[in-house]
Amino acid sequence: MLLEWGLEMGSHFLQEVRPILYTDRLCGVLILASGQTCLVSNPCNSTITRQNADGTWTFIIPRFYDGGTIIGGTKEPHDWNSEAVLTTRHKLLESAAEMYPDILNAEGGFDIITDVVGRRPTREGGMRIEIEKGEHGVTGDGPVVHAYGAGGRGFEISWGVAEEVSILVESVLGGGSVNNARSKM
């Protein structure tokens, strides 16, 4: 059995790849999507996420070991810009302050460390988590468990994806049916 796990690629690997990263013969196209976040030193002790009425997301994610807090974020399919946009930063911080005012410092603002722009492979049509039966991999043995295409959501959904993958792997190793093994994510 081959386990295929979609790894987030650093932006330096993606600069020469345009406009389609990969076409999956069964499940669509992987495209590049950029995203912008802002790292601040304002503390927050839990992850907070909200989907806004316009379909965008606001999230606050604390980093371990007093590493600051990530305020985000954007998702721009087919956007190759690698530079932070200040108006985007202001919108992100404004939305985070509205969602969770307790994160603001004594002056009512944010202590900005840096802006972060990342590029992530994103699967059009959503993430793929499923078993593909057949002969694959270097040895040509067994099915493939696919888990890729999360785009910038990988950190937030990683525990759920890992749980789904473990269920799929167990269905193969434990003798479950490969034909009906598909994630509900």
- Tens of pLDDT, residue by residue over 74-112, are 888 888 888 999 999 999 999 999 999 999 999 999 999
pLDDT at 112 (0 to 100): 97
Residue 52's domain is classified under what CATH number? 3.30.9.10
Q: Could you give the percent of the chain with pLDDT greater than 90?
A: 37
In this predicted structure, which of 38-52, 147-161, 169-183 has the lowest mean pLDDT? 169-183
Residue 46: inside a domain: yes
Q: Is residue 74 a part of any domain in this protein?
A: yes
Facing residues of 39 across strands? 70, 114
What whole-number distance in Å separates Cα of residue 111 and Cα of residue 26?
46
Residue 135: what pLDDT? 65
CA 8 to chain centroid, in Å, comes to 8
- Does any domain span residue 170? no
DSSP reduced 3-state for 163: helix
Cβ–Cβ under 8 Å, residues 89 and 36: yes
Give me the phi and psi of 172, to 5 degrees please. -80, -50
> What mean pLDDT comes out for the span 108-124?
90
Which residues form the domain of 80?
A: 31-120
Average pLDDT over residues 111-126: 88
CA–CA separation, 10 and 22 (whole Å) = 16
DSSP letters, 83-137, are: S--HHHHHHHHHHHHHH-GGGS-TTSS--EEEEEEEEEEEETTS-EEEEE-SS-T
Average pLDDT score over the chain? 79
Q: Please indicate, yes or no, if residue 75 is contained in any of the structural domains.
A: yes
Categorize the per-residue pLDDT at 26 as very low, low, confident or very high, splitting at 50, 70 and 90: low
Residue by residue, DSSP assigns 51-86 as E-TTS-EEEEEEPTTT--EEEE---EET----S--H
Residues 6+ apart with CB under 8 A from 45: 62
- The total domain count for the chain is 1
At 127-168, the pLDDT tens digits run: 888 888 776 555 566 788 888 888 777 777 888 999 999 999
pLDDT of 56: 84
Residue among 84, 81, 80 at smallest CA distance from 113? 84
Structure tokens at 20: 């389609």
Res 5 pLDDT > 90: no
Is residue 25 a part of any domain in this protein?
no
Residue 111 lies in a domain: yes
* Residue 92 resides in a domain: yes
Residues 6+ apart with CB under 8 A from 162: none
- Tell me, what's the pLDDT at 42? 96
The answer to whether residue 55 is domain-embedded is yes
Q: Are 152 and 75 in contact (CB under 8 A)?
A: yes
pLDDT at 93: 97
